[in-house]
Structure 1
Amino acid sequence: EKVGMTLAIIKELAQNLLGLRNKYSGNTRLDGQVVVITGANQGIGKETAYQLSLRGAKIIIGCRDELRAENAIKEIVSRNPNANIIHIKLDLSSLHEYCLGHYLLTLQLLPLLRKAPKARIINVSSSVYASGKINFENINLRNGAFEMWTAYSQSKLANVLFTRELAKRLGDTTINAYSLHPGIINTEWYRHIESPVGKFIAKNFTKMFAISIERGTQTTLYCALEESLDNESGFYYDNCLLVDNMYANATDDKSAEKLWELSADLVKLEDKYRLPKHI
């Protein structure tokens, strides 16, 4: 799997250099529809909010920092004066471990989503899910087990497994779920690197090989807008395409179900929000 992951990264970097990343070209409108985006005060979240505002959606930015949210809205409105966009204070930091906050938020929004003729739930993951492993015995990687890459890859694998299990449990509804890899994007992800040398290398690597933030929103737009996906749910996408050769860790249904139930216990999920296993 490590060899396969390395080859996949090399292939993606080559695509980036040659400008071969796909751009979503559909013309679907979202007039009268509501889109909730977490983390939309910066990066691809903010750009996604802008792009969807152009298609007529009402955008709700969920952000714990109200000043950053207001600044993001001002920037979006300056680019699109017709943008219908507001923010709500949303703090998921107390449940940040391996995406617990988004798990709880999703389930609490389901009663509203069920009222819509159809709805989509999109989880932005990453291709690094391939090197991830769910540590069920120490899910929050405490007592010295925490390491940045281990935690990051576990959280991205959790995104994929959560999406897979969610789709199964929503099988009798018109709510679809998708996970995706946005690409290697030109954001300041390297600011978390403590080593000055490591940070310097990562910064220049990003400048050389990464795609733009605008280009990094394309697969999210594809999953949000592409009408042909109405009959698909639970899958993972990259470069505006379905990925059908997933690594084994992301297709393990037993792990997906186990992670789901563990998450429900950890957030002390109320019975009214619990989704039974779909048979």
Structure 2
Amino acid sequence: MSEQKPIGSRFSASSTAREVTEGIALSGKTAIVTGGYSGLGVETTRALAGAGARVIVPARNREKAERTLAGIDNVVIEAMDLADPASVAAFVDRIVAAGMPISILVNSAGIMATPLARDEAGHESQFATNHLGHFRLVAGLWPVLVKAGNARVISVSSRGHQIGPVDFDDIDFRTRPYDKWQAYGQAKTANALFALELDRLGAALGVRAFSLHPGVILTDLARHLSEDEINSFDVYDENGNRRVDPARDLKTPEQGAATSVWAATRPELDGIGGVYCEDCEVALPQTETDGTRGVAPWAMDPQAAERLWLLSEQLTGLSVGDRRG
């Protein structure tokens, strides 16, 4: 892991995904963007494809994906349901069989503050989808990520990770009362810890990983929230218009996708990895910032990251490389 401190990025909270790819040439490279046909994922797909990458977008709803991505060149839609292990495995098998190196993987798909639900194995749905689904994806794609020689895996976390750490004693809310925000915070912390341990395992093989907070953007991610909950984020002004104020973390989708694209493409991040980012910059630890900025200590704890990784291997039966050897 590199040190958790700013690197002097020339971009900011108001930068857009298109702006951070100016001068970046991705021709000949292949990227995968989960959630690439919804919300911030669309703008991530648009920016990477616009820079010349061939972008594969896994989709549970192909019709919606085709409609949303119409007019964007260099995009290929493939079937995959992140919450279904068999579907993830089938997608991975197709990609690996094709033999193409994957230079960029942006894990942007996710769910937020959902009512209690469980996957087929009984795992709480936010943890299962946001973390375990992406763990399965990365483990399966490992050979083609390594093949790229200089790959980046981007884990879209959230400032919501500050709600709390991973509760290793009761991840699936078997004994504690279910709280949708505690579950969301745990899943977003897992996203950051995932990037931390993945980078430790992959750095020597040319696979670097980053996690990030994209900003507050009203997208389909908020579909499970009540009107009062949405209003609590102060996303609307007194006239009912959506606020755009990057300094207060209220961003457009194009601005919200910028940090993902920045982490995935910028050369100034060469040799760096395992860090949590925000506003197109490496974030400070929360103890060194004011208010809600920065990364909480439990989301950059290497021991917790390794513990989560080992548990994820047990829960999925999958591993990266010769990790289990």
Name the TM-score, length of structure 1 as normaliser: 0.82
2:80 match: 90
Whole-angstrom CA distance in 1 between matches of 2:322 and 2:132? 14
- Structure 2 unmatched runs, 5+: 1-11, 85-118, 120-124, 286-294
Whole-angstrom CA distance in 2 between matches of 1:20 and 1:34? 27
Measured after TM superposition, the shift of residue 97 of structure 1 is 4.2
Measured after TM superposition, the shift of residue 274 of structure 1 is 5.2
Aligned 8 A contact 2:126 2:184 in 1: no
Aligned 8 A contact 1:191 1:199 in 2: no
2:212 match: 180
1:275 match: 323
Which of 30, 38, 49 aligns to 1:53? It is 49
1:21 match: 14
1:140 match: 172
1:216 match: 256
Deviations 1:149-198 (A, max 9, x none): 1111111100100100111111311111111111111324443124x544
Whole-angstrom CA distance in 2 between matches of 1:144 and 1:118? 42
Higher relative contact order (CA 8 A, sep 6+): 2
2:28 match: 32
Measured after TM superposition, the shift of residue 72 of structure 1 is 2.1
Change (3 A) 1:164 1:145: same
Read off the aligned partner of 1:249 and give its amino acid letter.
Answer: W
Deviations 1:108-160 (A, max 9, x none): 10101111131110011111212222111221223563211111111110010
Aligned 8 A contact 2:38 2:68 in 1: yes
Aligned 8 A contact 1:113 1:175 in 2: yes
Change (3 A) 1:35 1:92: same
- Structure 1 unmatched runs, 5+: 1-18
Whole-angstrom CA distance in 1 between matches of 2:27 and 2:242? 36
Which of 187, 191, 194 aligns to 1:162? It is 194
Aligned 8 A contact 1:132 1:156 in 2: no
User: Whose helix fraction is larger, Structure 1's or Structure 2's?
Assistant: 1
Which of 236, 241, 251 aligns to 1:204? It is 236
1:101 match: 133
Which of 36, 40, 43 aligns to 2:39? It is 43
Whole-angstrom CA distance in 2 between matches of 1:272 and 1:219? 26
Read off the aligned partner of 2:48 and give its amino acid letter.
Answer: L
Which sits farther off after the overlay, 24-33 or 53-62? 24-33
Name the TM-score, length of structure 2 as normaliser: 0.71
Which sits farther off after the overlay, 144-153 or 21-30? 21-30
Measured after TM superposition, the shift of residue 30 of structure 1 is 0.5
Whole-angstrom CA distance in 1 between matches of 2:68 and 2:277? 27
Is 1:66 the counterpart of 2:56? The answer is no
Is 1:121 the counterpart of 2:153? The answer is yes
1:235 match: 275
SS in 2 for 1:62: strand
Aligned pair count reads 251
Aligned 8 A contact 1:108 1:273 in 2: no
Whole-angstrom CA distance in 1 between matches of 2:228 and 2:171? 31
Change (3 A) 1:215 1:264: same
Structure 1 runs, 4 residues or longer, greater than 4 Å off: 199-203, 271-274
Read off the aligned partner of 2:201 and give its amino acid letter.
Answer: R
SS in 2 for 1:185: coil
Aligned 8 A contact 2:157 2:189 in 1: yes
Change (3 A) 1:253 1:84: same
Which sits farther off after the overlay, 218-227 or 89-98? 89-98
Read off the aligned partner of 2:252 and give its amino acid letter.
Answer: S
Aligned 8 A contact 2:170 2:176 in 1: no
Measured after TM superposition, the shift of residue 275 of structure 1 is 2.8
Aligned 8 A contact 1:165 1:253 in 2: yes
